Structure 1
Amino acid sequence: MSEESRYYQEALQEYNDLKKESDPDVWDKRISETGCYVENLALQLCHAETNDWRQCMKEMALFRKCWDTKGNRDRVRTVDR
Structure 2
Amino acid sequence: MSSSDERLQSPYYKEALDQYKELTQEEDPDAWDARISKTGCYVENLALQLCHAETNDWRQCLKEMGFFKQCWDSKGNKDRVKTVDR
* Letter in structure 1 aligned against 2:84: V
State the partner residue of 1:24.
29
2:11 to 6, 18, 21: 6
Q: Give the count of matched residue pairs.
A: 81
CA distance in 2, matches of 1:75, 1:57: 23
CA distance in 1, matches of 2:58, 2:69: 14
Q: TM-score, normalised by structure 1?
A: 0.95
Q: Where is the helix percentage greater, Structure 1 or Structure 2?
A: 2
> Percent identical across equivalent pairs?
70
Q: Which has the higher contact order (CA 8 A, sep 6+)?
A: 1
Q: TM-score, normalised by structure 2?
A: 0.89
Q: Deviations over 1:8-67 (max 9, x none)?
A: 000000000000000001100000000000000000000000000000000000000000
Tell me, yes or no, if the aligned pair for 2:7 and 2:13 is still in contact at 8 Å. Answer: no
* Letter in structure 1 aligned against 2:6: S
1:41 to 46, 68, 72: 46
Q: Which runs of 5+ in 2 are unaligned?
A: none
